Amino acid sequence: MISFDSQFLGIATNENGTFAFVFNVPHADSTKPHFVHTVEPYPVNLDIQAAFTVRAEPVSSNLGIVLETGLIYFPGDAVTIYVLTSQNGETFGPSGVQLQVSITRPDGTSSALNPLSIGTGLYTASFTIPKTKSTGTYAITATVSSTGGNAGIFPEHV
């Protein structure tokens, strides 16, 4: 007979002194030790228990980013980009954040922008729309990663 913290789980068959028993751990407190208890009353009167600790399920880390710009710009205008980073719903950074922002022009060329931290999780970057050959859609891409290994790429079109 197999039990978990005195809760009966089932019966395993003894085959030449060994047995296999698979079970799901019932809801258990992660602050104290727990016991799996095995009793074999016949033929050898075996009574064994093993202690182990149930660990809390690891919290998944959700990385988020919001990119904001104005809607319409004209040749010669300065474009200001605001980037907000969050992890598990809370703003975070600049510590633990690696942020890259780039602009792709209508002609297909691109360049990196230099985002500057202006507050917890808030960054700004800017570029100027050229006065000539500037008509079209500009794509802004932000790539963010955290020291926890999460990463995301978020495009925005101006």
Q: Could you read off the pLDDT of 91-150 as tens digits, one per residue?
A: 888 888 889 999 999 988 999 999 999 999 999 999 999 988 878 888 999 988 877 555
pLDDT top residue among 57 and 75: 75
| 13 token code pair | 């068959």
Q: What is the pTM of this model?
A: 0.57
| 23 token code pair | 């079970």
Kindly state the average pLDDT of the residues 51-58.
Answer: 75
Q: pLDDT by residue (tens digit) across 13-46?
A: 877 877 888 888 777 777 788 888 888 877 777 7
Q: Which of 51, 63, 85 is nearest to 152 (CA)?
A: 63
Which pLDDT score, from 0 to 100, does residue 23 have? 82
Which pLDDT score, from 0 to 100, does residue 132 have? 85
Q: Which of 6, 39, 33 is nearest to 21 (CA)?
A: 39
Give backbone dihedrals phi and psi of 90, rounded to 5 degrees, phi first. -110, 135
Q: Which of 52, 3, 1 is nearest to 29 (CA)?
A: 52
| 29 token code pair | 């407190």
Kindly state the average pLDDT of the residues 44-70.
Answer: 79
pLDDT top residue among 65 and 26: 65
- CATH fit for domain 63-157, picks 1.20.140.150, 3.30.430.20, 2.60.40.1930, 3.40.50.2300: 2.60.40.1930
Which pLDDT score, from 0 to 100, does residue 157 have? 45
Confidence of residue 48 (pLDDT cuts 50, 70, 90): confident
* Res 75 pLDDT > 60: yes
* DSSP for residue 92: -
* Res 74 pLDDT > 70: yes
* In the chain, where the domains are located: 2-53, 63-157
Residues with Cβ within 8 Å of residue 129, at least 6 apart in sequence: 73, 74, 75, 76, 77, 78, 79, 138
Which pLDDT score, from 0 to 100, does residue 158 have? 44
